[in-house]
Amino acid sequence: MLDFNVILERTKETAKKAGEFIRQESESFNVDKVEHKGFNDLVSYVDKQAEKIIVDNLSQILPEAGFITEEGTAESNGEAYSWIIDPLDGTTNFVHGIPVYAVSIALIHKNELQIGVVYEINRDECFYAQKGGGAFCNGKPIKVSKAPTLGDSLVATGFPYYDFGLMERYLALLANMMKKTHGVRRLGSAAMDLCYVACGRVEGYFEYNLNSYDVAGGAIIVSEAGGKVTDFDGGSNHVFGRNIIASNGNIHEEMLEEIKIFKKS
């Protein structure tokens, strides 16, 4: 029988090990070393090496598990368990020297998240959760905000950076959110957006055109912190469905109503 407490502790160690490598490389990183996977889709040797560190360590923790990784250093299907890894969520921030980026790791079992770890490197904040065990940051329990309405809330989002086909719809949604909240923030890291919902720094987060490795680690942390996470339809396909809404729960229905502008425009 798997001991998820042990697995979680070793996963945290792995995230911090990769994070330390990224921190060291940030001190001497040269933009000339950046590659382009696609239009505005940046990657560097730092992403790739950090992913190798993570895969090597996780393979020892749970050898039977498969991998879903951003940089493709390990792609395999496990019988029941899979690790979902983003070695450097916020690569563009990293490349430009903006200190908001993180390591994100999740363990999923038959489409149900079991563990999530997000290590924000510059603030040395390790957010983590285990199914049914609550959410934590650096050993302290975290909870979502108690703000009762969208009008009492600060929300986060992500901007399109390569697929601009839905830009007009998104701008309409953004305009409404700007008018009906305390403000809208764009951090540049989906993993951190989710963790900031989990610890109450923002009340809600929405974004589309995402991958599983962008959101898996943070999604379970929000849920275990007492928040709510769905796709844009209010369903449960937020890990693989390429869109997500996360909130403190109180404002979730209001956010879904606003998302209708995006879906129907």
89 assigned ligand-binding residue: yes
pLDDT band at 160 (very low <50, low <70, confident <90, very high): confident
Please name each of the domains of the chain with its CATH number.
Answer: 4-141 (3.30.540.10), 150-264 (3.40.190.80)
pLDDT at 44: 77
Q: Is pLDDT of 111 > 60?
A: yes
- CA 39 – CA 149 distance, rounded (Å): 38
Instruction: Taking residues 144-168, report their average pLDDT.
Output: 90
The residue among 230, 231, 221 whose CA lies nearest residue 249 is 230
193 assigned ligand-binding residue: no
Q: Is pLDDT of 15 > 80?
A: yes
Summarised one tens digit per residue, pLDDT across range 183-237 is 999 999 999 999 999 999 999 999 999 999 999 999 999 999 999 999 999 999 9
The residue among 174, 198, 196 whose CA lies nearest residue 187 is 196
88 assigned ligand-binding residue: yes
**Around Cβ 139, how many Cβ atoms within 10 Å?**
7
pLDDT at 192: 98
Instruction: Taking residues 117-122, report their average pLDDT.
Output: 98
Instruction: Taking residues 103-130, report their average pLDDT.
Output: 97
pLDDT at 72: 65
pLDDT band at 262 (very low <50, low <70, confident <90, very high): confident
More confident residue, 84 or 75: 84
| Cβ(133)–Cβ(152) below 8 Å | no
Q: Is pLDDT of 40 > 50?
A: no
- Distances 16 to 12, 52, 124, 145 between C-alpha atoms, Å: 6, 14, 9, 27
231 assigned ligand-binding residue: no
pLDDT band at 159 (very low <50, low <70, confident <90, very high): confident
Q: Is pLDDT of 264 > 70?
A: no
Angle at 207 between CA 243 and CA 181, to 5 degrees: 135
pLDDT at 28: 83
More confident residue, 105 or 159: 105
pLDDT at 36: 59
More confident residue, 166 or 192: 192
Summarised one tens digit per residue, pLDDT across range 121-142 is 999 999 999 999 999 999 999 9
At 160 the three-state DSSP class reads coil
Q: Is pLDDT of 43 > 90?
A: no
70 assigned ligand-binding residue: yes
Average pLDDT, the chain: 91
Percent of the chain at pLDDT > 90 equals 77
